[in-house]
């Protein structure tokens, strides 16, 4: 399914058994549950928000080609494809949060996966500013340069790899080993 809108677009309840591509010159939102078995790609422009926050959303892989502040909610695991976000990224999932493409986030990235689910954002070219983990079990973060760790609660291990400074701007609570 390919949707193009010269303004913003609100996505109602939809089930897509293949891919979903949304291009808009304004905000992209949802007012109903989105279930997409293939890859979802959203292009909203660097100054427009993407808010796909229905609790029962079920994405396979979702990539944000361009967007300002991006909020994604998935009822289970979610895979983040190649994304360029000029503002903040907020992801809430009922399962693991992974990346299959490079994530470039200029603002703060906040991930909520639940205490029993892993977060693996390990693409070598990822470029985060600040990353906070609201809840997750084992967390792996990779950044092409420096990374700032915001307030985080990790019930397992935390592994951070960066080619620059690793700093913290919030309290880190890690039950397991931190490397």
In Å, what is the CA distance from 108 to each residue of 53, 71, 148? Answer: 18, 12, 9
Query: pLDDT by residue (tens digit) across 61-79?
Result: 999 999 999 999 999 999 9
- Taking the C-alpha atoms of residue 49 and residue 24, their distance in angstroms, rounded to an integer, is 10
Query: Which whole number is the average pLDDT over 136-142?
Result: 98
pTM above 0.95, yes or no: yes
Give the pair of three-digit tokens for residue 32: 């109903």
Query: pLDDT by residue (tens digit) across 46-58?
Result: 999 999 999 999 9
Query: Which whole number is the average pLDDT over 158-164?
Result: 98
Average per-residue pLDDT in the chain?
A: 98
Query: Which whole number is the average pLDDT over 13-36?
Result: 98
- From the list 85, 41, 42, 77, the residue with the least C-alpha distance to 57 is 77
Are the C-beta atoms of 3 and 9 separated by less than 8 Å? yes
CB-side neighbour CA atoms (13 Å) of 20: 21
**Using alpha carbons only, what angle is made at residue 116 by residues 104 and 31, rounded to the nearest 5 degrees?**
60
DSSP 169: S
Give the pair of three-digit tokens for residue 111: 């991930």
Q: Which residues contact 53 (CB under 8 A, 6 or more apart)?
A: 30, 71, 72, 73, 92
Query: Which whole number is the average pLDDT over 124-135?
Result: 98
- Taking the C-alpha atoms of residue 120 and residue 140, their distance in angstroms, rounded to an integer, is 5
Query: pLDDT by residue (tens digit) across 78-110?
Result: 999 999 999 999 999 999 999 999 999 999 999
Q: For residue 16, what pLDDT is reported?
A: 98
Query: Which whole number is the average pLDDT over 102-130?
Result: 98
Percent of the chain exceeding pLDDT 70 equals 100
DSSP 8: -
């Amino acid at each position: 399914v390919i949707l193009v809108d010269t303004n913003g677009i609100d996505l109602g309840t939809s089930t897509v058994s293949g891919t979903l591509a949304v291009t808009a010159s304004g905000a992209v939102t949802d007012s109903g549950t989105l279930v997409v078995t293939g890859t979802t790609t959203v292009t909203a422009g660097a100054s427009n928000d993407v808010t796909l926050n229905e609790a029962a959303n079920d994405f396979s892989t979702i990539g944000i080609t361009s967007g300002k502040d991006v909020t994604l909610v998935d009822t289970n695991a979610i895979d983040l494809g190649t994304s360029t976000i000029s503002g903040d990224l907020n992801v809430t999932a009922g399962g693991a949060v992974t990346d299959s493409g490079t994530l470039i986030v200029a603002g703060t990235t906040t991930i909520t996966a639940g205490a029993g689910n892993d977060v693996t954002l390990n693409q070598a070219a990822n470029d985060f500013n600040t990353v906070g983990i609201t809840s997750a079990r084992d967390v792996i973060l990779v950044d092409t340069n420096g990374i700032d760790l915001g307030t985080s609660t990790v019930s397992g291990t935390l592994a951070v790899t960066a080619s620059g400074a690793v700093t913290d701007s919030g309290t880190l609570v890690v039950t397991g080993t931190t490397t």
